[in-house]
Structure 1
Amino acid sequence: MDPILDVRNLHVSFDTYGGTVQAVRGVDFALKKGETLAIVGESGSGKSVTTKALMGLVAKPAGHIPKGEILFDGKDLTKLSNKEMQKIRGKDMSMIFQDPMTSLNPTMKIGKQIMEGLILHQKLSKKEARNRAIELLDLVGIPDSTKRIDQYPHQFSGGMRQRVVVAIALACNPKVLIADEPTTALDVTIQAQILELMKDIQKKMDTSIIFITHDLGVVANVADRVAVMYAGKIVEVGTVDDIFYNPKHPYTWGLLGSMPTVDGNDEKLIAIPGTPPDLMNPPKGDAFAARNEYAMQIDLEEEPPLFKVSDTHYAATWLLHDDAPKVEPPEAVKKRMKGNISAGEENRS
């Protein structure tokens, strides 16, 4: 099956007074119909910039795409004008942002905000758009939708506002839905509800989802495949089971080790030492080398390619080279891998 979205060698840079920040440095991935791809990594790893590039939302003129392709429906989105992208945004590709209060207009009733896209892209009449907006509010689990459609964002709780944002994103039945940390601003209980809602909606609408998060616990519950980003590059990609059961990159080990276990044991969380590199002057070799206790001399001199682990699993680390020493994840990481994936499997079943 051909991917619905195919990203090839994507680079995104930002010109600043101090120099050019190379925020995304050669990202490749494909998204299949009905699939959920999670992109994970620390703040500053390039996750959100990548997805904003997909939506044509990189702020110009400071931000630009020096090279790469974003192929969607036979078109390279990097070659389209802003006016051409406006026809795709909201209709074929939609985005859910982290904070619903910055996504909603506080001066407009939520019904009108949902109806805008329906009238613009679907060419519905106001009456048809209103009826569809009520259906969408029902779909995302907002009770008494015929009354609440005429209320303002401040009259909704944080979780309900995020449900409204989901309804707006789904209004035109997009082929690709991008969710950028959609549950970070919510408490744990509401977070679980929103994640369950997105899984349910995907089953009903067969939408492809790109899910951006720094929380690997969330990934186990919602994703089919996972791409781990570091310093503007994808350093490991595979199925959820590949990443949780058989992670190969030391950075992925660090992310797993920093994740609390669900069984409540007393083991300390493992912190990744150091800080990400300065992307105005990216390091010569492996960008993670300075923080990697298993780094070898070649890590400081040459960037590793993506080594094939299996047909679904690739990782960019010299530890996978035939001549490299055999290194296993720390025991504490192995315990977290097993504990959290078990919980994830229960939630997915």
Structure 2
Amino acid sequence: MSKKLLEVKDLKINFKTYAGLVQAVRGVNFELNEGETLAIVGESGSGKSVTSNAVMKLIPQPPGIYADGQILFQGKDLIPLTEKEMSRIRGNEIAMIFQDPMTALNPTMRVGKQITEVILKHKKVSREQAKQRAIELLDQVGIPMPEKRFSQFPHEFSGGMRQRVVIAIALAADPKLLIADEPTTALDVTIQAQILELLKEIQKKNNTSIIFITHDLGVVANIADRVAVMYAGQVVEYGTVNDIFYNPRHPYTWGLLGSMPDLKNNVKEDLRTIPGSPPDLIHPPKGDAFAPRNEFALAIDYEQEPPMFKVSDTHYAKTWLLHPDAPEIPIPETISKRIEGYLKEAENK
């Protein structure tokens, strides 16, 4: 049985701004086992990156405030830890792959030095041993001629190769948890597929746990074990990748799945969009935050926030449509066709 590595309990994070207090994360719960990948998905502004930065304790305080909750890593709450205590965990036990490799790398420093610095900080090895380990890492992440590349600067690498270097830096101290914040957004589709394959290989080889942040549900089907769908700072649906793709229960998840383009199965319908935009989290709406954009909203959605209903032992969704007294609403046909088409494509890979 897999051992629990990370548990986030009722996490609330606010930001003080001139306009007021932004409630960016509003009671998030999820857990992650050893060797497992959890994908956190949702539109921009849903709280995905704030949640992942909170796990690394990278939220600047101020303006950020850890208002409530716990982040239990190997059973230890990270929130009360000092910066000095966190610096021993960051890079060593929890590492992060950032979205844009050009801003994640120091343009004035040779790539090899950027990797060896991490190794020397967290491991008791000589400079020569750190260099050999850095060359091994460059080779492991698929960079040809690693000995030569070790001495080059970031501008001498392509975008995909730079992202591989960022992954090598994240792996330098053999972390137990890797947080990948939209690591393929800035890359073309072919390179994106290579990076995803690389992350899967690394996970298999090292039994690394991964939190994968993305707005692209297409990426999720190929990499995740479990999925947390976020909207307006809350997890609105949570389940295994099969739960989310084969039996989505929240209208927001339907919208995300329905807005994926189907390029291979000749689905002729216009690409669906979710009308409106996410709410202002300085003044979160009463009731269900998704109600104004939800064509299936019930009267209670505008009055009372729904609880997290249990669909199965692995699957939960925060929608009044799961209440025993709610009308039964099937997934709209246009969305179910698109999901079927997409699943066929995923099964053929």
Q: TM-score, normalised by structure 1?
A: 0.98
Specify the code of the residue in structure 1 equivalent to 2:40: I
Residues 270-312 of structure 1 show CA distances to partners (whole Å, capped at 9, x for unaligned) of 1101111110000110000010011111101111111111111
Aligned counterparts of 2:67 and 2:31: Cα–Cα separation in 1? 20
1:342 alignment partner in structure 2: 344
Runs (4 or more) in structure 1 with deviation over 4 Å come to: none
SS at match of 1:61: coil
| Aligned pairs for 1:155-304 within 5 A | 155-265=156-266, 266-304=268-306
Q: Tell me by how many angstroms 1:264 deviates.
A: 4.8
Specify the code of the residue in structure 1 equivalent to 2:321: L
1:149 alignment partner in structure 2: 150
Q: Tell me by how many angstroms 1:73 deviates.
A: 2.1
Q: Tell me by how many angstroms 1:344 deviates.
A: 2.4
Note if contact 1:12-1:25 (Cα within 8 Å) is conserved in structure 2: yes
1:25 alignment partner in structure 2: 26
| Aligned pairs for 1:117-136 within 5 A | 117-136=118-137
Aligned counterparts of 1:6 and 1:232: Cα–Cα separation in 2? 17
1:56 alignment partner in structure 2: 57
1:108 alignment partner in structure 2: 109
Specify the code of the residue in structure 2 equivalent to 1:72: F
Specify the code of the residue in structure 2 equivalent to 1:276: P
Q: Does 1:325 align with 2:327?
A: yes
Specify the code of the residue in structure 2 equivalent to 1:52: N
Deviates more, 1:139-148 or 1:338-347: 338-347
| Aligned pairs for 1:31-70 within 5 A | 31-70=32-71
Residues 71-125 of structure 1 show CA distances to partners (whole Å, capped at 9, x for unaligned) of 0123110111111111100000000010000100000000000011110101211
Note if contact 1:221-1:345 (Cα within 8 Å) is conserved in structure 2: no
Name stretches of at least 5 consecutive residues in structure 1 with no aligned partner: none
Task: Provide the aligned C-alpha RMSD in A.
Answer: 0.9
Q: Tell me by how many angstroms 1:268 deviates.
A: 1.2
Between the two proteins, the alignment pairs up a number of residues equal to 347
Aligned counterparts of 1:270 and 1:318: Cα–Cα separation in 2? 23
Aligned counterparts of 1:130 and 1:2: Cα–Cα separation in 2? 33
2:8 alignment partner in structure 1: 7
Q: Percent identity?
A: 67
SS at match of 2:79: helix
2:79 alignment partner in structure 1: 78
Aligned counterparts of 1:118 and 1:345: Cα–Cα separation in 2? 40
Specify the code of the residue in structure 1 equivalent to 2:211: I
Residues 122-171 of structure 1 show CA distances to partners (whole Å, capped at 9, x for unaligned) of 12111000000000001000000011100000000000000000000011
Specify the code of the residue in structure 1 equivalent to 2:31: A
Aligned counterparts of 1:346 and 1:4: Cα–Cα separation in 2? 32
Note if contact 1:227-1:236 (Cα within 8 Å) is conserved in structure 2: yes
Q: Tell me by how many angstroms 1:332 deviates.
A: 1.2
SS at match of 2:129: helix
SS at match of 1:21: strand
Q: TM-score, normalised by structure 2?
A: 0.98
Residues 205-258 of structure 1 show CA distances to partners (whole Å, capped at 9, x for unaligned) of 100000000000000010001100000000001111111111000000000011
Deviates more, 1:291-300 or 1:41-50: 291-300
SS at match of 1:11: strand
Note if contact 1:220-1:345 (Cα within 8 Å) is conserved in structure 2: no
SS at match of 2:4: coil
SS at match of 2:292: helix
Note if contact 2:107-2:155 (Cα within 8 Å) is conserved in structure 1: yes
Aligned counterparts of 1:33 and 1:267: Cα–Cα separation in 2? 41
Q: Tell me by how many angstroms 1:345 deviates.
A: 3.1
